[in-house]
């Protein structure tokens, strides 16, 4: 059975994934920022970040602050996607 990850840990992991997407080097050869594999890797990291936190708001006993943090993570994902893709 899979181990449950606490909500705070999920938020930290999601932010780490967003940071990994930001730090991903732009390919020097080929199409650069328009390289399909580069775009796919960034979108995959950002999708993983969203998936990490998407069920936190529906979980019983989650505080309003935690729900606000989830909204901030979604905003960070959207901002990163606009900047990077």
14 falls within a domain? yes
44 falls within a domain? yes
pLDDT over threshold 90, residue 31: no
What pLDDT is attached to residue 41? Answer: 95
1 falls within a domain? no
12 falls within a domain? yes
Q: State the average pLDDT over residues 31-47.
A: 90
41 falls within a domain? yes
Could you give the number of structural domains in the chain?
A: 1
The sign of the torsion formed by the CA atoms of 55, 78, 45, 10 equals negative
What pLDDT is attached to residue 77? Answer: 96
State which residues form the domain around 22: 7-84
59 falls within a domain? yes
pLDDT tens digit sequence for 20-29: 999 999 888 8
Residue with tokens 């930290």: 12
Q: pTM score > 0.85 for this model?
A: yes
CB 45 within 8 A of CB 20: yes
What is the spatial distance between Cα 79 and Cα 57, in angstroms, rounded to a whole number? 21
2 falls within a domain? no
Q: State the average pLDDT over residues 66-75.
A: 95
């Amino acid at each position: 059975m899979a181990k449950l990850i606490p909500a705070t840990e999920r938020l930290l992991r999601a932010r780490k994934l967003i940071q990994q997407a930001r730090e991903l080097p732009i390919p020097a050869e080929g199409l650069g920022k328009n390289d399909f594999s580069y775009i796919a890797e960034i979108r995959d990291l950002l999708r993983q970040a969203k998936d990490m936190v998407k069920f936190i708001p529906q979980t019983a006993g989650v505080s309003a602050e935690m729900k606000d943090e989830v909204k901030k993570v979604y905003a960070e994902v959207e901002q990163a996607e606009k900047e990077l893709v």
